[in-house]
């Protein structure tokens, strides 16, 4: 029954940008948040089926971390967890918006991607 010790997230400095990156500046966290915000995903298996193919151990690790941080929270028993963004988590939306805008302008990404998603979600 080895629960991973709740490791304190280290701050590299007092800069608000640096601090935020220390929370969600890894390869996967913001994509999980995106799936919640734009795709309405709530469960482990839904997150697992993203186009970017996150692996199970990383997904689990991120869900635990994001929950510990307080960006997401779950309801339901341990085998039917439903994750939701907290108030704090929803405050990440402007970040995702600006990241998406940059991506639509500069990357070779499919520019219709988020537009379609938003339409589907009535956003």
Give the nearer residue to a copy of itself in terms of CB position, either 69 or 81: 69
From the list a copy of itself, DNA, none, pick the one residue 122 interacts with, judged by a Cβ distance below 5 to 8 Å according to partner type.
none
Residues of span 52-71 touching a copy of itself by CB under 8 A: 52-53
Give the nearer residue to DNA in terms of CB position, either 9 or 88: 9
Residues at the site binding DNA, with contacts judged by CB under 7 A: 2-4, 26-28, 43-46, 53-58, 60-61, 63, 77-81
What are the DSSP calls for the chain, one per residue? --PPP-PPPPPS-S-HHHHHHHHH-SSSHHHHHHHHHHH---SHHHHHTSTT---HHHHHHHHHHHHHHTSEEEES-TTS-EEEE-HHHHTTHHHHHHHHHHHHHHSSS-TTHHHHHHHHHT-
From the list a copy of itself, DNA, none, pick the one residue 63 interacts with, judged by a Cβ distance below 5 to 8 Å according to partner type.
DNA
């Amino acid at each position: 029954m080895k629960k991973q010790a709740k490791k304190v997230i280290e701050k590299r400095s007092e800069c608000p940008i640096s601090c935020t990156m220390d929370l969600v500046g890894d390869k996967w966290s913001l994509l999980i948040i995106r799936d919640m915000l734009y795709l309405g995903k709530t469960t482990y298996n839904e997150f697992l089926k993203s186009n970017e193919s996150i692996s199970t151990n990383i997904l689990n690790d991120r869900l635990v971390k994001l929950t510990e941080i307080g960006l997401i929270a779950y309801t339901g028993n341990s085998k039917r967890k439903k994750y939701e963004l907290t108030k704090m988590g929803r405050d990440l939306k402007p970040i995702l918006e600006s990241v998406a805008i940059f991506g639509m302008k500069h990357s070779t990404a499919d520019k219709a991607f988020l537009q379609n998603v938003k339409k589907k979600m009535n956003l």
